[in-house]
Amino acid sequence: MKKFIDSPGTLLDTSLQGFAKAHADIVEVRTQPNFVLRKQRKTGKVALISGGGSGHEPLHAGFVGYGMLDAACPGQVFTSPTPDQMLEAAAAVDGGAGVLFIVKNYAGDVMNFEMAAEMLDGPSATVLVDDDVSLPKDHPIGRRGVAGTTIVEKILGAAAEQGYDLAACKALGERVVRATASMGVALTSCTVPALGHPTFELGADEIEIGVGIHGERGRETGKLLSASEIVGRIAGHIQQELNPPSGQAVLLHVNGFGATPLLELHLVYELAWQYWRERGLNIQRSLVGNFTTSLDMAGCSLTLSLLDDEMLGLWDAPVNTAALRWGC
Amino acid sequence: MKKFIDSPGTLLDTSLQGFAKAHADIVEVRTQPNFVLRKQRKTGKVALISGGGSGHEPLHAGFVGYGMLDAACPGQVFTSPTPDQMLEAAAAVDGGAGVLFIVKNYAGDVMNFEMAAEMLDGPSATVLVDDDVSLPKDHPIGRRGVAGTTIVEKILGAAAEQGYDLAACKALGERVVRATASMGVALTSCTVPALGHPTFELGADEIEIGVGIHGERGRETGKLLSASEIVGRIAGHIQQELNPPSGQAVLLHVNGFGATPLLELHLVYELAWQYWRERGLNIQRSLVGNFTTSLDMAGCSLTLSLLDDEMLGLWDAPVNTAALRWGC
Amino acid sequence: MPLTPAQIPEFINAISAAINQHADEITELDQAIGDGDHLFNLQRGLEALQSHAAEIAALDWPAAWQKIGMTVMAAIGGASGSLYATLFIGLSKHGKDKPTDMRTFAEALQAAVAAVKQRGKADVGEKTMLDVWVPAAETLARAASSGKDLNAILDQVCAAADAGVESTRDMLATKGRASFLGERSKGHIDAGAKTAQLMIAAIARHIRQAA
Amino acid sequence: MPLTPAQIPEFINAISAAINQHADEITELDQAIGDGDHLFNLQRGLEALQSHAAEIAALDWPAAWQKIGMTVMAAIGGASGSLYATLFIGLSKHGKDKPTDMRTFAEALQAAVAAVKQRGKADVGEKTMLDVWVPAAETLARAASSGKDLNAILDQVCAAADAGVESTRDMLATKGRASFLGERSKGHIDAGAKTAQLMIAAIARHIRQAA
Ligand SMILES: Nc1ncnc2c1ncn2[C@@H]1O[C@H](COP(=O)(O)OP(=O)(O)O)[C@@H](O)[C@H]1O
Ligand SMILES: Nc1ncnc2c1ncn2[C@@H]1O[C@H](COP(=O)(O)OP(=O)(O)O)[C@@H](O)[C@H]1O
Ligand SMILES: [Mg+2]
Ligand SMILES: [Mg+2]
Ligand SMILES: [Mg+2]
Ligand SMILES: [Mg+2]
């Protein structure tokens, strides 16, 4: 394994210190237990808290700041954070209007956030993100939360900033989740620092279709395809899931898993754009880049969100975080 | 080779189309010859034009927009663009106050921009970026331009926006270049799409020290070191070069080469921060992320810029591009 | 010889030794159909317990279980972190105000395992640690209430745990990360089932030796 | 049999064939001490020339060289793009208002190579294409002015080009990307020198066959 680390055990904590310093205008990092919170807090506003295993950066810590998250709880690499992190984060950022947990649908994340919510004194609610359509809708533990999380967190962040109350935030979050579908393809596995070697081996002409974001295998190993074929394939699943009417306004997000160059991500964006334009969609907003990553995995996912005017306005609202910034 | 491409020959053009659509609020892309220009142009302002081989994204097209570049000329992957691109770009963005070319010091880039400047009718000047201290100062063709380019382009972009004239822009640019030093380390090579395999092979316990940004070998192949050792090593070269007095205000930039996760880049930032704090520097600004990449190369570079008040103010000035955005 | 919390440090050490001895196997299992962190998760939990061992040893059983639960809750993370936290907090809740003999422990364990089922929304047959904990707890309850001698009880519980691990091999995973793989999850035993069995076996071995 | 621009399409094809035949070798060379794009750069240039070949064939020599120069300038990029553009534009400038015999061509070539030196701020001995173009142009001038027959001239020029390529092997690169490698640049011949030699040899072969 070749990585910039001193030891797997110190990677996360040292990295968080660097993150805090590099973005000291926006965030603070607290330790024991670890959480990242925004510097400028606001009372009377629903506090948004997310979190999950590390290794997906900039998700979630990179989304802490004005117009998005109030706090993020980073677990060890690919390991859900623990309830004490969430409780401390809630204590630090609760502005008196309740806490909304935004949770990607993984057993570990769900159960740890659930324990935190049970132990929390004040009012809280949870929005579960499960946008990965590579799994069937009736999958026994539900679908995974993947790159659509960025969209959910951005839109909810704007809503909370504008004074939506806890119930309205939860309802909006669930609406965004329902309107959002993603699917990803891996060209390589990734190397978890504590493991020291790639989680799985792929042949030189193989790709993994329908992957999550933890370096685990996907639903299917396939032969290497052209970018057009890959886009046709995964866009097809999303299209089938959302079945948007012609003229529907959408947000198209191409998310890199970490090691895929922007040159390729923009190519994928162009192909996906063409795919959906041919199907009559009105692609109003876009997001291309590495937002929900899997360490050093090569690959990418497509996410489509059906937008209504409210969601569009909230998407466009000012945001000032390490990884997403506009309008301020 | 596993990449998202249909064919190496169409990668760049299709990707540029995707880039144009994904950032349609900020840029336009023209073809035959290819160049990217900002949508909102301004007369009476020095026009800043940069360019270079593709494969370094977001550099330079990602820096086109308010407060930074007026146009960027993307060459084929790792191949300098051609004079006709620069001439067309100049014709499109010249606001009547002359054209400043920002050129990374590579023979191909230098010669092609030189030919363009010779053929250009109006006044022009060139700022050559040569911040790579892995080469000796007296290297026969000078040092390479690497990640410091982002800093030069940001500061000059703000200056041009504020009305600096051509001579003032050139003088400032040369001052920033003199105040800036970089050095990089590669953990892997990268794969140029037209080639289809990594440009060089590194052993599982080897790193390449003092690399440029074209996947070429560095000055030296070394054994894998800890992150602290690597940072100590390359920061040491930069420190020796700039020899900043204690208390000096600086900008510290950790640049990823493409496949190195943010988790590691922030770790490197923390270690570099400690290195320079121990030497009494006043680290006032930071930039951590993938800005000057080498396709899918794993690795990173450190860049240190000594800041004076003018440079600091220009760094902080509003910028609105695909890849850098703040204050607006 | 009734067990007391004073013995907890020894149990923790025995479990740690067993887990470390099977480190590579555990990681391979969680990598094959999970995400490869299960070993490190447990090791983090065991280290945290080791550093609180003296404190825990001085408590009564319910307080000790509670402290163990809170410690692993904060140290492990992941699915196994919340599940083991639930298990130990469950033991604490259900062991309160009761004598600490084998029968009441067996009852408390059954209740705690039920809490784990609820936390995980899972049951036997889904290729998880429950395929070990459920039969082990049931066997303990049955054996303890039938008045068997300690060694016989331990043998039966260990046998149930062994069979439980093995049963996961051909199961289709419907809970945990392995479930994402669908049919591809078949053919590997579940990492969490394996470590549950290792813990049970380590404790049984330690009790036998101490006896 | 004086050469005319009408033959340019054949020359382009002959050069393309030679370059394609040595494709792997060229790429290996530019990869060993450069960045691996030299083959594709030349191929892009040659394709562009091929698509303008008919138009170029109808021009007079100075206009043809100018068009060739502008075409490669816009098609190639990289170091070789500007250098070859400079070479051909140089041939155009220096060939104007002069008869198109071998001597005046040789003079024009020397002037054009001088322009390339200036563009590249380089000279022989720096491990570049100049290690082929400079001796080839000098040899051509010497041989042409000594009134040798065409085949002998061609043989000498080709020999000079061959020797030029070989001379780059043990040189320390001081220009081009290879110079970044310092001592590590030694032991490989320069890709741009190799392709210059391939072009010269292909043209010579074609002239001989046509004669
Ligand atoms: N819903 C669940 N109910 C019971 N056990 C589960 C459940 N989900 C996962 N497990 C168990 O947890 C183990 C994985 O633990 P671990 O690797 O530490 O966490 P994670 O799955 O979050 O990476 C699985 O092997 C399985 O035995
Ligand atoms: N300054 C220079 N003067 C003359 N020839 C040069 C110079 N720099 C590079 N070359 C030649 O150009 C060749 C490389 O061309 P190419 O690979 O197409 O461009 P690049 O170096 O920009 O990738 C080198 O092998 C060398 O022969
Ligand atoms: Mg995990
Ligand atoms: Mg090149
Ligand atoms: Mg796991
Ligand atoms: Mg080259």
d(CA B59, CA B289): 12
Distance A5 CA to ligand 3 centre (A): 20
Nearest to C67 by CA among C23, C10, C5: C5
Name the residue with higher pLDDT: A318 or C146: A318
Q: Are strands B319-321 and A220-223 parallel, antiparallel or unpaired?
A: unpaired
Residues of B in contact with A222 (CB under 8 A): none
Residues of B in contact with D27 (CB under 8 A): 195
Q: CA of A264 to nearest chain B CA: how many angstroms apart?
A: 6
pLDDT of residue C100: 75
Nearest to A77 by CA among C28, B262, C47: B262
Q: Which ligand is nearest to the CA of A142?
A: 1
pLDDT of residue A217: 82
Residue C184: pLDDT band (50, 70, 90) is confident
- In angstroms, the first-to-last Cα distance of chain B is 40
Q: Please spell the DSSP secondary structure of B85-102, one letter per residue.
A: HHHHHHHHH--SS-EEEE
Please report the domains of chain D, with CATH numbers, ordered by start residue.
5-210 (1.25.40.340)
DSSP class of A195 = T
- Average pLDDT of span A100-127: 97
- Name the residue ranges covered by the structural domains of chain B: 10-179, 181-307
Interface pTM, i.e. ipTM: 0.95
d(CA D41, CA D63): 23
CB-based contact B14 A267, cutoff 8 Å = yes
Take residue A51 and report the two structure tokens written for it. 């979190």
Out of A178-192, B289-303, C76-90, D84-98, pick the least confident: D84-98
Touching subunits of A (3+ CB pairs, under 8 Å) are: B, C
Where are the alpha helices (H) located in B34-147, listed in sequence order?
Answer: 83-93, 107-119
Digit-coded pLDDT (tens) for A183-224 = 999 999 999 999 899 988 899 999 999 999 998 888 889 999
CB-based contact A228 B6, cutoff 8 Å = yes
d(CA A54, CA A73): 9
Distance A139 CA to ligand 2 centre (A): 58
pLDDT of residue D1: 55
User: D147 burial class (0-12, 13-18, 19+ CB within 10 angstroms)?
Assistant: exposed
> CB distance from C86 to chain A under 8 Å?
yes
User: B136 burial class (0-12, 13-18, 19+ CB within 10 angstroms)?
Assistant: exposed
CB-based contact B271 A5, cutoff 8 Å = no
CB-based contact C179 A139, cutoff 8 Å = yes
The pair phi, psi for residue B324, each rounded to 5°, is -130, 130
Site to probe by mutation for ligand 1, drawn from C83, C86, C113, C126 as the one with most ligand atoms within 8 Å of Cβ, is C83
- The protein residue whose alpha carbon is closest to atom 13 in ligand 2 is D192
- Average pLDDT of span B138-146: 93
Of all atoms in ligand 2, which is nearest to the CA of residue B106? 22
d(CA C9, CA C202): 13
| Cα nearest neighbour of A202 on chain B | B2
Q: Which residues surround ligand 5, an ion (CB under 5 A)?
A: C 30, 34-35, 37-38
Q: Please spell the DSSP secondary structure of C7-19, one letter per residue.
A: GHHHHHHHHHHHH
Of all atoms in ligand 1, which is nearest to the CA of residue C177? 21
Per-residue pLDDT of chain D (211 residues; tens, 9 = 90+): 578 999 999 999 999 999 999 999 999 999 888 888 999 999 999 999 999 999 999 999 999 999 999 999 999 999 999 999 999 999 999 988 777 788 999 999 999 999 999 999 999 999 999 999 999 999 999 999 998 899 999 999 999 999 999 999 999 999 988 888 888 889 999 999 999 999 999 999 999 987 7
- The protein residue whose alpha carbon is closest to atom 1 in ligand 2 is D120
Per the prediction, chain A carries an average pLDDT of: 97
Site to probe by mutation for ligand 2, drawn from D30, D72, D80, D190 as the one with most ligand atoms within 8 Å of Cβ, is D80
Radius of gyration of chain D (CA): 16
- In angstroms, the first-to-last Cα distance of chain D is 8
Nearest to B90 by CA among B63, B61, B66, B113: B113
Q: Which residues surround ligand 3, an ion (CB under 5 A)?
A: A 78-79; C 35, 37, 78
pLDDT of residue C182: 84
d(CA B270, CA B252): 11
Catalytic positions of A, written as ranges: 56, 214
β-pair partners for B192: none
Q: Which ligand is nearest to the CA of C41?
A: 1
Residue B278: pLDDT band (50, 70, 90) is very high
Residue C181: pLDDT band (50, 70, 90) is confident
Q: Are strands A47-54 and A71-77 parallel, antiparallel or unpaired?
A: parallel
Distance A75 CA to ligand 3 centre (A): 9
Touching subunits of B (3+ CB pairs, under 8 Å) are: A, D
DSSP class of B132 = B
Ligand 2 pocket (Cβ < 6 Å) reads: B 79-80, 107-108; D 30, 34-35, 37-38, 41, 78-80, 83, 120, 122, 128-130, 175-177, 190-193
Residue B169: pLDDT band (50, 70, 90) is very high
Site to probe by mutation for ligand 1, drawn from A76, A78, A79, A80 as the one with most ligand atoms within 8 Å of Cβ, is A79
Take residue B221 and report the two structure tokens written for it. 């192949």
Q: Does the pLDDT at position C98 exceed 80?
A: no
User: B222 burial class (0-12, 13-18, 19+ CB within 10 angstroms)?
Assistant: middle
Nearest to C189 by CA among C17, C20, C16, C25: C25
β-pair partners for B198: B191
Radius of gyration of chain C (CA): 16
CA B233, distance to chain mean position in Å, is 22
The CATH number fitting domain A8-179+316-326, selected from 3.30.70.20, 3.40.50.720, 3.40.50.10440, 3.30.1490.190? 3.40.50.10440
C-alpha pair distances (Å), B77 with each of B11, B53, B81, B294, B321? 9, 5, 10, 10, 22
Q: Are strands A180-186 and A71-77 parallel, antiparallel or unpaired?
A: unpaired
CB-based contact B2 A207, cutoff 8 Å = yes
CB-based contact D184 B217, cutoff 8 Å = yes
Residues 6+ apart with CB under 8 A from B102: B48, B49, B50, B69, B126, B127, B129, B149, B152, B153, B156, B173
Take residue B194 and report the two structure tokens written for it. 């037209």
d(CA B41, CA B28): 11
The pair phi, psi for residue A25, each rounded to 5°, is -75, -20
Q: Are strands A206-209 and A220-223 parallel, antiparallel or unpaired?
A: antiparallel
pLDDT of residue B37: 98
Q: Does residue A104 contact residue A146 with C-beta atoms inside 8 Å?
A: yes
Touching subunits of C (3+ CB pairs, under 8 Å) are: A
CB-based contact A18 B266, cutoff 8 Å = yes
Q: CA of C35 to nearest chain A CA: how many angstroms apart?
A: 6
What's the fold here for domain B181-307?
Hypothetical Protein Tm841; Chain: A;domain 3 (3.30.1180)
Say whether domain A180-314 belongs to CATH 3.30.1180.20: yes
Q: CA of A264 to nearest chain C CA: how many angstroms apart?
A: 27
Digit-coded pLDDT (tens) for A27-79 = 999 999 999 999 999 999 999 999 999 999 999 999 999 999 999 999 999 99
Digit-coded pLDDT (tens) for B233-276 = 999 999 999 999 999 999 999 999 999 999 999 999 999 999 99
CB-based contact A215 C181, cutoff 8 Å = no
Q: Does residue A158 contact residue A314 with C-beta atoms inside 8 Å?
A: yes
CB-based contact C37 A82, cutoff 8 Å = no
Distance B139 CA to ligand 3 centre (A): 50
**Equal fold, B10-179 vs B181-307:** no
- The protein residue whose alpha carbon is closest to atom 9 in ligand 2 is D176
Instruction: Tell me the CATH number for domain B10-179.
Output: 3.40.50.10440
pLDDT of residue C1: 54
Digit-coded pLDDT (tens) for A16-27 = 999 999 999 999
Residue B85: pLDDT band (50, 70, 90) is very high
pLDDT of residue B104: 98
The pair phi, psi for residue B152, each rounded to 5°, is -60, -45
Q: Does the pLDDT at position B217 exceed 90?
A: no
Residues of A in contact with C80 (CB under 8 A): 108
- The protein residue whose alpha carbon is closest to atom 18 in ligand 2 is D38
d(CA D181, CA D190): 13
CA angle D178, B75, B199 (to 5 degrees): 40
Q: Please spell the DSSP secondary structure of B185-247, one letter per residue.
A: EESS--B-TTT-SBSS---TTEEEES--SSS---SEEEE---HHHHHHHHHHHHHHHH-PPTT
Q: Which residues surround ligand 4, an ion (CB under 5 A)?
A: B 78-79; D 35, 37, 78
- Average pLDDT of span C105-125: 97
The interaxial angle of helices A83-93 and A107-119, nearest 10 deg, is 50
CA angle C134, C140, C146 (to 5 degrees): 135
pLDDT of residue A131: 98
d(CA A321, CA A38): 9
Ligand 1 pocket (Cβ < 6 Å) reads: A 79-80, 107-108; C 30, 34-35, 37-38, 41, 78-80, 83, 120-122, 128-130, 175-177, 190-193
β-pair partners for B101: B49, B126
Q: Please spell the DSSP secondary structure of chain C, one letter per residue.
A: ----GGGHHHHHHHHHHHHHHTHHHHHHHHHHHS-S-HHHHHHHHHHHHHHTHHHHHTS-HHHHHHHHHHHHHHHT-HHHHHHHHHHHHHHHHHHTTS--SHHHHHHHHHHHHHHHHHHHT--TTSSSTHHHHHHHHHHHHHHHHTT--HHHHHHHHHHHHHHHHHHTTTPPP-SSGGGGGGGGGTTS--HHHHHHHHHHHHHHHHHHHH-
Nearest to D199 by CA among D151, D149, D164: D164
d(CA B63, CA B320): 8
SS3 category, A304: strand
